[in-house]
Every structure is written in C-alpha cells, then in structure tokens.
Amino acid sequence: MKKKLIPTVYRPREDKSFLSVIGKAILFYAILIAFALLFIFPFYYVIVLATRRYNTIFDNPPPFLFGGAFLVNLQTLLRQIPFIQNFTNSVVIAILATGTKIFFCTIAGFVLAKYRFKGRNLILALILFTLTMPKFILIIPLFRVMISLNWINTYFPMFVPNMADGLGIFLMTQIFENSVTAGMIDSARIDGMNEYQIILRLGFPLGAAGLFVLGTISFINSWNDFMYALIMLPNHSAHTLPVALNSLNIMAEGDFGALMMGSMLSMAPLIIVIIIFGKRIISNMLAGSIRGA
C-alpha cells in the first residue's frame, strides 16, 4: 500500500558504490573550481596589468604574467589624479560614516528596545517607512539640499544623512531587546549611574554583535558608493576612489597601467579584509539584509 502512494521514491541503491561517489565528488569539485577561477581571474589579471607598462598591455597575445612596471605605473597614477587625497577621502568618509552610525544607532536602538514612552510606536513606524523607501527617490532633492547647505565637495553629504538610518536602529533595537535585561539596568541605577551612562556603558558592550554587523555593512557601502558620490563630490580633490577611477577612466590621455594600478589599490583593502574575516563579513551582510527587508 505504502509503495503505491509514492512509487517514484523507490530506487535500487545502485549509485552508492565507491566509484560513483568518487566520480560525483570529482565532478562537483570541477564545477566549483571552474567557477572559483572565473571569479578570481579578473583580480589576478588586474595585478598583471597594474605591473605592466601601458604599451605592453596592448600586446597580442595579451600578457598573462607579471611585469616590472609597478613603480612606474604608481608614479603615473599619482601624477594624473590626486590619488593619495582620493584614498584619504574614501578612508575618512568610510570611518566617519561607520563611527557616527554606530554611535547614533546604538543609543536610539537602546531606548527603543528598553524604554516605553509616548511616540514610540510613531518612531517605529517612521523607521519602517525609511526601510521601504528606496534611496533613489531622494537623490535629486538631496542634491538640491546639499547645494543650499553649501555641502557639495565636503565630507558631510557622504555621512550626515545616514548617521541614524532606519536599518541600523532597527537592527540594534532587535539586539537590545534580547541582550539587555531590566535587572541589569536596575542594578546600574542602584550603582548610581545616570541614564546616559547606563546607555553608553551597557549599550556598547552588550550590542557589540549588532555593531559589527552594522559596521561591516556601513563601511563596505560607504567604500563602494558611486552614484551618490558622483554628484555630491564633483571636484577632483574631493573625489572618493570610485569617482576618481571613473574620471581617470574617461580621461582622454589617461594611462592604462595607471588606471589598472588605481583599480587594484581601490579593491585591495576590502579583498584583504574579506580574506581575513570572510565568513563573518558574509554572515553579517546577509543578516543585515534579511533584517532590513
């Protein structure tokens, strides 16, 4: 009777033999390694091109091995665009964006999770509203706002609007709802701390896990942001790395080896970080996006 209900399930277990398992493993590894090469090759190749003089880049067949022009390309890069300034801009903006976001989202998340006050539901609704609203809709009016604030070509437009963003507060609220108990807060009060001390002293250590998630997402987004930086930072000295690479790319007399050198240097920090903390960063980003939806 049971057999009739699910007839297709029953198969002789012939494919469990040792050889077929080995064959399967080889096939699977072949597929995975082929894709891994596909994903890694461009990064290898950008290093190859970054170490070659621009005139050998255009050889046929194309070069596949490292050349010796690393320093020459670096010098050309530094001469053609204010690369050190651009790199500094990217670093400062990413740190400012991450630091301010961590601070404001922690205190906001803490009070939303642990205090009951008038207007709490309204604030939660506003946060949900910012989560569904695409940033795309704000870009033109924000551009006008930044012009009237005289903030174009400064660091401010790159981090101020997102200092206390909805996703971060939402994430921290969820973390604090479970990591901080009323008992902890009561005993801190008995110890004579005022409310602000409690929020800072309990919030940062107990929200640490959430802060890493938030920090990762914020740093990576800020480092890679292009569309927004493109209109907010039009001056060459104010460019962040992606915008600077774009202007080098469309520069008529741009040197190709230098362009590849710039691309390599702009990718390097994140690649190094992901090689070291890979697993953690990936799960942080996934958790952030799932919670944000």
Partner 1 sequence: MLSKQIQKRNIVPYVCLAPFIILFLVFYLFPFIFSFVISLTKWRGTDKMQFVGMNNYTFMLTEDSYFWKSVGNTLWLLIFGYLTQHLIALPLAIIINNRLIKGKTLFKTIYFIPYITGSVAISIVWGHFYNENFGIINYFLELMGLDRLNFFEAALVPIKIAIVVAWRNIGWNVALYLAGLQAIPKELYEAVSLEGASTYYTHTRITLPLLLPVIFFAVTMSIIGGLQAFDEPFMLTGGFGFMGGSGNTGFTLAFYVMWLLQRRSNLGGGTAITWMVSLFVMLLAFINSRITRIIDPGTFEHKTVKKTVNKNKVTEVLPL
Q: Which of residues 107-126 bind partner 1 (CB under 8 A)?
A: 107-108, 110-112, 114-117, 120, 123, 126
Instruction: Give yes or no for residue 17 binding partner 1 (CB under 8 A).
Output: no
Site for partner 1 in 235-254 (CB under 8 A): 241-243, 245-246, 249-250
Burial class (CB in 10 A: 0-12, 13-18, 19+), 194: exposed
> Rounded CA gap, 210 and 284, in Å?
9
Instruction: Give yes or no for residue 95 binding partner 1 (CB under 8 A).
Output: no
Instruction: Give yes or no for residue 5 binding partner 1 (CB under 8 A).
Output: no
In which region does residue 10 sit, left (phi positive, over 0), alpha (psi from -120 to 50) or beta (all else)? beta
Binding residue for partner 1 (CB under 8 A) from 169, 202, 232, 258?
A: 169
**Tokens at 84, concatenated:** 């050190």
Residue 74 exposure: Cα atoms within 13 Å on the Cβ side: 10
Site for partner 1 in 205-234 (CB under 8 A): 206-210, 212-213, 220, 223-224, 226-227, 230-231
Handedness of CA 230, 233, 236, 242 (dihedral sign): negative
Binding residue for partner 1 (CB under 8 A) from 82, 99, 161, 215?
A: 161
Residue number with CB closer to partner 1 (9 or 68): 9
Collapse the DSSP code of 70 into the 3-class scheme (helix H, G, I; strand E, B; otherwise coil) and give the result.
helix
Instruction: Give yes or no for residue 160 binding partner 1 (CB under 8 A).
Output: yes
CB 293 to partner 1: min, Å: 5
Instruction: Give yes or no for residue 84 binding partner 1 (CB under 8 A).
Output: no
CB 191 to partner 1: min, Å: 15
Pick the piece of the chain touching partner 1 (CB under 8 A) from 31-39, 67-75, 80-88, 91-99. Answer: 31-39
- Helices marked H in the chain: 2-5, 18-50, 54-57, 70-80, 83-114, 120-132, 139-148, 156-159, 166-179, 182-190, 195-206, 208-224, 227-232, 241-250, 256-292
CB 68 to partner 1: min, Å: 20
Instruction: Give yes or no for residue 139 binding partner 1 (CB under 8 A).
Output: yes
Instruction: Give yes or no for residue 163 binding partner 1 (CB under 8 A).
Output: yes
Residue number with CB closer to partner 1 (72 or 159): 159
**Tokens at 206, concatenated:** 């107990």
Instruction: Give yes or no for residue 289 binding partner 1 (CB under 8 A).
Output: yes
**Tokens at 291, concatenated:** 């919670």
Instruction: Give yes or no for residue 92 binding partner 1 (CB under 8 A).
Output: no
How many binding residues for partner 1 (CB under 8 A)?
Answer: 124
Pick the piece of the chain touching partner 1 (CB under 8 A) from 67-75, 76-84, 91-99, 203-211. Answer: 203-211
CB 104 to partner 1: min, Å: 5
Task: Write the DSSP assignment of 200-231 as a string of letters.
Answer: HHHHHHHTHHHHHHHHHHHHHHHHH--HHHHH
Residue number with CB closer to partner 1 (92 or 274): 274
> Rounded CA gap, 281 and 216, in Å?
7
